[in-house]
Every structure is written in structure tokens, then in C-alpha cells.
Amino acid sequence: HRVINYLDINRVEEDNREWDIGLKQGLLNCAVALPCISAGMVNPMMRMRGAARDKVDNVAKELQIMLALLDQVNAQRNEGTPGKLEAVYPILIGKPRDKDEALYPDTGNFFLDGSAQWVGAGGLVERVSPATSKAVEEFLGQHAIMISDATRSRTVKSTVSSLLALQGALLWNHGELPEEKLFETSEFWHMVQKEPPVPPLDLEQLKRLKAELRHLVPAIHEVVDRARAAHDLRDFARRERGDVEPGDA
């Protein structure tokens, strides 16, 4: 089963001028988006206050575009929609465990370790962040994508809570997992040390995280298969109606 991955951290340049180009290649051409939701991802979004002084948050922008594309797919199930996105399948990642915890180096449970509480405890504002919302609408408009009322009114908090409401995968201790190989001399480990994640991970935690992610691969393949089948079915219906010429899709 071959799945082509698009990792924005590898393919999108830090320069914002290249961001839209990279995102178009990614979100508009993938069947399933797999946003990784963690306390470390949500925490920077707490700086957004829903005020005119807010800066554009690229993570929030990407998440809101995912949801806008999904809104359009759900609203026009039997019609053609820009892009190929059929599903958003969040991967919920808990906090790393401390070395003195019994289940170290396993990842914590997102819903039990306080990660999910970041959303409901008032840390994320229930207000639209103007700069990010404007950037989302500009991107959608450039690609002839419907800008719905839901998109215009999507708040910082509802961006994350909407993702949590979707069917997703909970990444945490799955019992005995095959140990992944990752060495201190590897290029990947050097990259992690150069730009440490938040919260930080040691080598053993990173190896277990890799094993937990690999454990999810069959479930992700099932989601991708269903998404591709849904896209093919809608494309077939469009052809039957004569909406597209053969080879246009």
C-alpha cells in the first residue's frame, strides 16, 4: 500500500511568500489531511487574542483551510469541488512521560494528561483572529474555493475543537510495540537536538513515538482507501452527468 506523504515542515519554505505555493501543492492535492494535535501545537495559538494586533498564525491558517475544504466537500457531496481532500483525520498526541513514570517512554493519553484541557480551560479564545481569518479567505478566494459563513466565523477555539470532534487516532501507549531503531549518530537525531521540540523528547521517547506512529499506519491506510473511493465515486457521478470531459479530473 503506497501512500505519498506531504510534510509541510519539509516542503514549505519559512518565507511566507512561498507558504501559499507549498500549501497548494499539499492540501489541494491530498486525499486525507493528518494534522498532529498536541499541547505543543496548541500552546502557541494561545497568543492569538482575537484582536486586530494578532499576527497571522500559519498553523491556525493551515487548520482552518483544512476545515474549509472539508466544509465544502460535505456541502457538495455530489458535485465537483476544488482539490482532492476528502477527509481530515487528526492524530492526537499526548505529553511525553517523565523518566520516573511507570509507563516511560510511552506517550501520555491526550485526553487524560491535560492536553485536551488546554482547549476547554479558556486558553484559546472564542473569537475570530482577524489577520489569520483574512489570510484564510484570501487563500480560498485565490483558488476559487467557497468561503462559507462557518469559515468566516471560525474562532481560534473552534478551530481546534472542530478537529477534536472528528474521527481521529489517539496516539499513546499501545502495549508491547516493536522497538524502532534510532541512533544517536543519525541525522534525524541531530536535527532534533538542533531544534528541540516543545515539550522536549529524549532518544528513547522519540523511538517509542516512532513505534506508536507506525502502529497507526494500517488505520491511516483504511482512511486513505475510503477517501480515494469517495473521490472516485463522486468523479464517476460527475462524468455520468457530463460535468467533465474524460481526463479532466
| pLDDT value of position 236 | 74
pLDDT score, position 7: 54
93 alpha-carbon distance from chain centroid: 12
Could you give the maximum distance between any two Cα atoms of the chain, in Å?
Answer: 64
Burial 142-156 (b: 16+ CB within 10 A, else e): eeebebeeebeebbb
The three cell numbers of residue 102 are: 511507570
Q: Tell me what pLDDT residue 145 has.
A: 86
CB 67 within 8 A of CB 163: yes
pLDDT in tens, the chain (249 residues): 455 555 555 545 555 556 666 766 678 888 899 999 988 888 889 899 999 999 999 899 999 999 999 888 877 655 555 567 889 999 999 889 999 998 899 888 998 888 888 666 668 899 999 999 999 999 899 888 889 999 999 999 999 999 999 999 998 766 678 888 889 999 889 888 888 887 889 999 999 998 998 888 899 999 988 888 887 777 777 677 766 544 454
Q: Which helix H or strand E contains 93, and what residues bound it?
A: strand 91-93
